[in-house]
Amino acid sequence: MKWEYKVDKQVRSLDEILTIAEELVQKYGPYKVSVAAGEDVMGLGGIALGKERGMIDPILVGHPRRIADSLEKLGHSTDGWTIVDEKDENKATAIAARQVLDKEADVLMRGKLLAYDFMKVLLSRDLGIRKRGDLWTNIVLTKLDVLDRLLLITDPAVIVNADLTKRLQHLQVVLNFANFLGIEEPKVALLAAVETVSPSIPVSLEEAVISMMCERGQFAKGIQVDGPLSLDLAINMESVKKKRVESKVAGKADILVVNNLGIGNLLFKSLITLCGGISASVIVGLPFPVVLTSRSESPENIQHSLAMSIMMAGGK
């Protein structure tokens, strides 16, 4: 999808995204969010917050009794909530996605079901969402106290493994999203265990090739890419000084890119769980915004994700 909203400066915090979302809501009214398998009490906590703030008008597609039980645990009745009865999680996902495709909702959100099952339904031929050549990716926006900017991490949930061709396509998608957030010349760190290129570490060879291609202008303009880089070198200037690494990206990365889902998931959850980071998580590449948060996500982070999806949806 093409994002219509234009920022006048770089977005540096999740609070700024919340403010933008609130401004859009004031102009266009609450955004309809269709939640697939919407009976999860953790997810409903964040959804309820968004509803109370007047940001969203949720449509919960799932098991009515379980939805009612979860709402009751949160201190809510079902009054004022739109609930669509579908007890099968996969069918609930298809219904929720169809609502967004048919413009009955603005945003799709994953509820209780596993990310794998959620994505499997979205990729099905029956829905026909994915077109030939499309690349979908999960991007997590994280704010850490030690950084003065948002850190984009990709991909912790959608791209299982990527070859060189797909990684280049992935970079273009991420670049477009970074530009949407007002990051005009994003610095991208291609992560690996070490910063040295070694034949015994295949990913280091691949990332060195990507870096060279970008340096020679074979890729997109307005982006600085370096790799392989270790995590400490990507975001910590002290590590850069100690290791005496010369790089336009090292210590200043806006985006961390990994080559497989396992590493991305561990990285993202470590920063949130162990480092106290706050986050927003969306899927990019579909014709509509998709919220994909962890099933153990805090209500506050779910709100951040919903705000990001509203910003992506832009004007109705």
100-117: per-residue pLDDT in tens? Answer: 999 999 999 999 999 999
Residues above pLDDT 70, as percent of the chain: 100
48, 44, 66, 19: which is closest to 293 by C-alpha?
44
Residue 219 has pLDDT above 90, yes or no: no
- The HSE-up count of residue 82 (CA atoms within 13 Å, CB side) is 14
Instruction: Give the fold, CATH level 3, of 136-281.
Output: Isopropylmalate Dehydrogenase (3.40.718)
At residue 181, the pLDDT reads: 98
- CB count in 10 Å sphere of residue 300: 15
Q: Domain spanning 1-6+18-130+286-316: which CATH class is it, in words?
A: alpha beta
Give CA–CA dist 191/210, Å, rounded. Answer: 12
pLDDT confidence tier of residue 295, bands split at 50, 70 and 90: confident
At residue 107, the pLDDT reads: 99
Residue 316 has pLDDT above 80, yes or no: no
At residue 147, the pLDDT reads: 92
Report domain extents, the chain.
1-6+18-130+286-316, 136-281
Q: What is the residue-wise DSSP string for 198-229?
A: -TTSHHHHHHHHHHHHHHTTSS-SS-EEEEEE
Across residues 74-81, what is the average pLDDT? Answer: 96
261-289: per-residue pLDDT in tens? Answer: 999 999 999 999 999 899 999 999 999 99
- The HSE-up count of residue 261 (CA atoms within 13 Å, CB side) is 10
At residue 217, the pLDDT reads: 87
Amino acid at 108: L
- CB count in 10 Å sphere of residue 239: 17
